Amino acid sequence: MAKETQVILTCPACDEVSLKLGDGDPVCTECDWTERAETVADSYARSRYPSWKHQQDGPEDEIGTCEACGYNAVAPLHESDIVGPVQQKLNELRRALDVEPGAGDAGYGLCFCCGEVSIGKPRQSDSAW
């Protein structure tokens, strides 16, 4: 069985497009930074969205739960990282759901554990991971 294409996006530690997802805990191929998938998802969201978890801007943002792997490691995907394998996954998702390309206006979520992409804001689980 062929291994699924890994997702590579911007590393929150070094800001290079070198963070590999899709095989457990993410690893940066540039700076060798790695953490638990949940921690990396939170760091990515903080580096890409200035208001992430800032109480003065509203309710606290939380990492969502991945429907594919069950880990609490889904964060909003920044538009600058919708290239390569991420774009391919979005295209496949749109085709599977029969969704128009502009339907992701609510944003996209990305699992930092398995690399799955979802349409819309990440959904939080009922229990902590």
**DSSP per-residue codes, 46-115:** HHH-TTTT-GGGSSPP-PBPPTTT--S-EEEPPGGG-SHHHHHHHHHHHHHHT--GGGGGG-EEEETTT-
Rounded CA separation 94/49 (Å): 25
**Distance from C-alpha of 50 to C-alpha of 67, rounded to nearest angstrom:** 26
Confidence at residue 50, expressed as pLDDT on a 0 to 100 scale: 83
pLDDT by residue for the chain (129 residues), tens only, comes to 344 557 889 999 999 999 999 878 999 999 999 999 999 999 999 999 888 876 555 556 788 999 889 999 999 988 888 888 788 887 887 777 776 655 555 678 899 999 888 877 676 655 443
* Residue 41 confidence (pLDDT): 93
pLDDT for position 29: 94
Q: Which of 110, 99, 111, 106 lies closest to 121 in space, CA to CA?
A: 106
Q: Which of 37, 30, 20 lies closest to 81, judged by CA?
A: 20
d(CA 126, CA 95): 30
What's the confidence (pLDDT) of residue 2?
Answer: 40
pLDDT of residue 37: 94
CB 25 within 8 A of CB 113: yes
Cut 0.85: pTM above it: no
Q: What is the pLDDT of residue 79?
A: 85
Which pLDDT score, from 0 to 100, does residue 127 have? Answer: 43
CA distance 60 to 101: 29
